[in-house]
C-alpha cells in the first residue's frame, strides 16, 4: 500500500498529547510552560511549550522507534528515495560522526576529501580511523573549491585498497556537486560504501532542474541538513541509507553514541 505523504504522524501524536489535561511529572522543567519565563512566553506563545514534550509512551522513542517516529521515518525514506531513514536531533554533525563509526574500526583507512566538514574530522578521531585525503578541484577565478574528480578517488583506492569507505561532500557549501554516480561505481567495484555529506542538498530530487540526490545517484548513505535548505528547525537533520554494504544495527548503535538521549520533539516533528 502506498504511503500517504500528507500524513504527519509524529506531529499528530504531539498535538494530541499537548492538549491533554494532566500534571506533567516529567521533563522538561518548564512543565509545558507553567514554569517558563514570561518574556519567553510573550515571544514564543504558549503552544510551543505545550508541545515541548519528552519520550512519553504515546510519542515513541528515537532510539527504539515503533510508533509515530517509526511511521514518520518511513514516510521520509519514501519521500527521499531511501530504504531507511533516521531522524537526527544533533544536526548532520552527529550523523556524519555515526556514519564513520559504523564503517571504521581503529586503524582503518577511509577516503576523505580535503574540504570535509569538521564533524568528519571528529568522526575520524572518535573511530580512530586514518584519513586518506583526496583533493577537490579548485577554481582560482572564483576562489571556489569544486568537486572531487573520480580520477582522484580511483587513484586513492588503487593506492589504499584496504580502505573501508569513500566519503564525499556533495554538494559543497557553494553548491558544487561531484560525480556521485561515477564515484559510487568505483567504491562498489571494491564492495565498499560511498558516504555523502549532503548537508546542503536535501532539496535535490524534488525538482527536475536540480541535480539528482545522492540516493538516486547510487550512494549507500547520505546525511542531509533538513534545516539548512528545507523548512525544519535548526539541528533537525536526516540520515538516509540503502543497499547491503552497511550494517544497520551498527549504524543505529553509532547514532546512539552521537545523539542526546533527550532529543527535542519539536526538532523531530519539524
109 and 239 within one domain: yes
Mean of pLDDT values over 123-143: 97
- Given a cut of 70, whether residue 95 has pLDDT beyond it is yes
Global pTM value: 0.95
In a domain, 225, yes or no: yes
208 and 188 within one domain: yes
**Total domain count, the chain:** 2
207 and 151 within one domain: yes
86 and 31 within one domain: no
131 and 33 within one domain: no
92 and 17 within one domain: no
Q: Are the C-beta atoms of residues 186 and 131 closer than 8 Å to each other? A: no
Quote the pLDDT of residue 1: 60
20 and 145 within one domain: no
Q: Cβ–Cβ contacts within 10 Å for residue 81, how many?
A: 17
Quote the pLDDT of residue 24: 84
147 and 19 within one domain: no
The pairing of beta strand 166-169 with beta strand 194-197: parallel
28 and 77 within one domain: no
Mean of pLDDT values over 116-145: 96
Where is the domain boundary, 12, 38, 59? 59
102 and 13 within one domain: no
Angle at 234 between CA 15 and CA 249, to 5 degrees: 80
Q: Are the C-beta atoms of residues 163 and 131 closer than 8 Å to each other? A: no
In a domain, 268, yes or no: no
In a domain, 270, yes or no: no
pLDDT in tens, 183-241: 999 999 999 999 999 999 999 989 999 999 999 999 999 999 999 999 999 999 999 99
According to DSSP H, which parts of the chain are helical?
Answer: 9-18, 38-44, 47-50, 68-80, 91-103, 118-127, 150-159, 180-189, 226-229, 248-258, 265-269
Mean of pLDDT values over 13-25: 87
Domain of residue 93, residue span: 65-261
212 and 116 within one domain: yes
158 and 29 within one domain: no
Where is the domain boundary, 59, 76, 109? 59
In a domain, 269, yes or no: no
| CATH number of residue 256's parent domain | 3.40.640.10
In a domain, 13, yes or no: yes
In a domain, 219, yes or no: yes
Angle at 220 between CA 71 and CA 172, to 5 degrees: 100
Where is the domain boundary, 11, 31, 59? 59
Amino acid at each position: 500500500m502506498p504511503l500517504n505523504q500528507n500524513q504527519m504522524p509524529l506531529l499528530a501524536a504531539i498535538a494530541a498529547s499537548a492538549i491533554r489535561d494532566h500534571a506533567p511529572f516529567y521533563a522538561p522543567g518548564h512543565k509545558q510552560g507553567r514554569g517558563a519565563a514570561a518574556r519567553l512566553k510573550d515571544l514564543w506563545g504558549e503552544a510551543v511549550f505545550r508541545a515541548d514534550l519528552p519520550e512519553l509512551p504515546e510519542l515513541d522513542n528515537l532510539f527504539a522507534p515503533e510508533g509515530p517516529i517509526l511511521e514518520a521515518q518511513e514516510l521520509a525514506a519514501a519521500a527521499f528515495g531511501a530504504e531507511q531513514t533516521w531522524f537526527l536531533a544533533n544536526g548532520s554533525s552527529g550523523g556524519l560522526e555515526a556514519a564513520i563509526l559504523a564503517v571504521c574500526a581503529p586503524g582503518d583507512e577511509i577516503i576523505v576529501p580535503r574540504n570535509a566538514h569538521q564533524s568528519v574530522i571528529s568522526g575520524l578521531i572518535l573511530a580512530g580511523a586514518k584519513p586518506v585525503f583526496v583533493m577537490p578541484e579548485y577554481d582560482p577565478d572564483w576562489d571556489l573549491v569544486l568537486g572531487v574528480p573520480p580520477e582522484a578517488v580511483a587513484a586513492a583506492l588503487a593506492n589504499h585498497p584496504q580502505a573501508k569507505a569513500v566519503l564525499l561532500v556533495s554538494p559543497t557549501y557553494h553548491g558544487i556537486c561531484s560525480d556521485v554516480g561515477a564515484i559510487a561505481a568505483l567504491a562498489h567495484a571494491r564492495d565498499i560504501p560511498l558516504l555523502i555529506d549532503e548537508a546542503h542538498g536535501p532539496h535535490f530530487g524534488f525538482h527536475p532542474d536540480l541535480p539528482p540526490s545522492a540516493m538516486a545517484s547510487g550512494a549507500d548513505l547520505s546525511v542531509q541538513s533538513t534545516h539548512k535548505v528545507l523548512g525544519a528547525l535548526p539541528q533537525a537533520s536526516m540520515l538516509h541509507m540503502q543497499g547491503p554494504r552497511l550494517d544497520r544495527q551498527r549504524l543505529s548503535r553509532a547514532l546512539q553514541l552521537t545523539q542526546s538521549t533527550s532529543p527535542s520533539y519539536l526538532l523531530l516533528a519539524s
